[in-house]
Amino acid sequence: MINRALEKEILKELFKKKTILIHGPRRAGKNTLIHNVFIKTNYKWLFLDGDDFDVRNSLESANPDFLNALFKKHNVIFIYEAQQINNIEYLIKTIRKKFPKKQLIINSSVQLDQLNNFIEKNNKHLKTYHLWPLSFEEIQKGEDIQAEELDELLIYGLYPEIHQDDVDKDIILYNQFKQTLYKDILPSAKIRKPDIMHKLIRELANKIGQEINYKQLGSLLNVDAKTISSYIEILEKSFIVFRIPAYSKKQEYEIKKNQKIYFYDNGLRNAVIENFKPLAERKDLKYLWENFLVSERLKLLSNNNTETAKYFWRTKQQQKTDYIEVSAKSMKAYKFEWDPKKKIKASKTFEKTYQTKVLGITRDNFKSFLLRPVSKEKRGLLAILS
């Protein structure tokens, strides 16, 4: 079993008078994570499934007498897929007010607007975590990932089920996509044209690591740019895709408004386009590699609570920097290349303008980009043990 980075964090946060909220895609391992926390405690837990119709109906009333009878013998209340419950924010408030000694944990596969507003207003009483599919750091476990294993990660991604023995990876990922589409995305009140959403997801899957144009996508799908933007926002809140904006200090030669699109998981993206061919037979290796690196870097930063803004950079003359991180103290810039024998062509204009060296990331050195640096003390200990 692969240990998840969040497990210790959640154990430390129990019974500190805060509701614990875990966001993340379906089947990213939220239930398994909570089960592992459960078996390490001596508390009495109550597990409630928001996907279950009867459970939903019972909880939506938020009747204090009913809740008292339900919670009476339990210390910890865990609500699974809480986004399915209407007025979930009211239920949370009721439980906090009427049952202050209970530990409430909820997970959600969708970022709901009303729940986000509730989080902002009640930040002091909530502890929010993101649980992504497995990260490269979590599966690494101090062992070297072999070349064929890296190929598999680019093709099948890092959903936990994929990394079990003797499973049909293609079927798991197809089912994962369908479940997310029909349970989390299409039920949204904002989706008035389900067929357009389905086509849009496929178009975006064919544009990973590339800039997107809402007007062009709208023209292709016979809808307006506003609809495209709205639908992409829903996909972001369902943890399917994310966008990275262009970086610019208003130099004339820089593009300013464009965005790049990425999928949170390579395997899910390949399920959308129905292509699990080996890397040697693919025409999209460059974009698979970039999507893998950027999505895994996002997980690394999130799991280590590192706040940084993320961008790409391009000029009108097509000079490019693939990925940039900007914090209050520093700027980091990167170019991605699968083949370590190919020369990394960094933009001299970028380096001169921003006084930042562009680092090349290839399959020979990518671990330095996706793993936390090892401290001197730990390196010394590893040397002694080896």
Mean pLDDT for 105-121 is 75
116 and 147 belong to one structural domain: no
Q: Confirm whether 208 is domain-assigned.
A: yes
Q: Is the dihedral of CA 260, 190, 133, 13 positive or negative?
A: positive
Which of 32, 56, 27 shows the shortest CA–CA distance to 176?
27
Helix, strand or coil for residue 153?
helix
Which of 379, 363, 375, 197 shows the shortest CA–CA distance to 279?
363
CB 7 within 8 A of CB 22: no
Helix, strand or coil for residue 162?
helix
Q: CA of 148: how far to CAs of 192, 268, 363, 371, in Å? A: 43, 19, 12, 19
pLDDT at 381 over 80: no
102 and 151 belong to one structural domain: no
In the chain, how many domains are there?
Answer: 2
**What percent of the chain clears pLDDT 70, i.e. is strictly above it?**
92
227 and 90 belong to one structural domain: no
21 and 111 belong to one structural domain: yes
Q: Confirm whether 268 is domain-assigned.
A: yes
Q: Confirm whether 384 is domain-assigned.
A: no
CB 302 within 8 A of CB 223: no
* Residue 20 to residue 122: CA distance in whole angstroms: 12
The residue that leads in pLDDT, 221 or 188, is 221
* Residue 370 to residue 3: CA distance in whole angstroms: 17
User: Which of 130, 150, 165 is at the close of a domain?
Assistant: 130
State the pLDDT at residue 112. 65
Which of 312, 304, 314, 274 shows the shortest CA–CA distance to 372?
304
173 and 85 belong to one structural domain: no
Q: Confirm whether 380 is domain-assigned.
A: no
Q: Which residue range forms the structural domain that includes residue 87? A: 6-130
State the pLDDT at residue 183. 83
Amino acid at site 31: N
Tokens representing 218 are 């709208």
101 and 164 belong to one structural domain: no
Rounded to 5 degrees, what are φ and ψ at 378?
-70, -40
* Residue 5 to residue 200: CA distance in whole angstroms: 33
198 and 92 belong to one structural domain: no
Q: Confirm whether 379 is domain-assigned.
A: no
| pLDDT digits 0-9 by tens, 160-199 | 999 988 899 999 999 999 988 888 888 766 778 889 999 9
State the pLDDT at residue 111. 78
| pLDDT digits 0-9 by tens, 129-146 | 999 999 999 988 756 777
State the pLDDT at residue 245. 97
125 and 234 belong to one structural domain: no
The residue that leads in pLDDT, 31 or 275, is 275
Confidence label for 366 from pLDDT (cuts 50, 70 and 90)? very high
Residues 6+ apart with CB under 8 A from 283: none
| pLDDT digits 0-9 by tens, 60-103 | 877 888 899 999 999 999 999 888 888 888 888 889 999 999 99
User: Which of 103, 130, 157 is at the close of a domain?
Assistant: 130
182 and 101 belong to one structural domain: no
Rounded to 5 degrees, what are φ and ψ at 241?
-130, 165
285 and 154 belong to one structural domain: yes
Q: Confirm whether 164 is domain-assigned.
A: yes
* Antiparallel, parallel or unpaired: β 45-49 and 19-23: unpaired
128: which strand partners?
A: 21
Mean pLDDT for 19-35 is 91
Q: Confirm whether 108 is domain-assigned.
A: yes
* Residue 7 to residue 109: CA distance in whole angstroms: 18
State the pLDDT at residue 189. 62
DSSP 254: B
76 and 218 belong to one structural domain: no
Q: CA of 252: how far to CAs of 111, 249, 318, 319, 321, in Å? A: 37, 9, 13, 13, 17
CATH of residue 94's domain is 3.40.50.300
User: Which of 130, 150, 166 is at the close of a domain?
Assistant: 130
Confidence label for 385 from pLDDT (cuts 50, 70 and 90)? very low
* Residue 375 to residue 118: CA distance in whole angstroms: 39
Confidence label for 205 from pLDDT (cuts 50, 70 and 90)? very high
Which of 98, 128, 97, 132 shows the shortest CA–CA distance to 115?
128
Neighbours of 182 (CB within 10 A): 11
Per the prediction, the chain carries an average pLDDT of 90
Mean pLDDT for 276-301 is 97
Q: Confirm whether 377 is domain-assigned.
A: no
157 and 35 belong to one structural domain: no
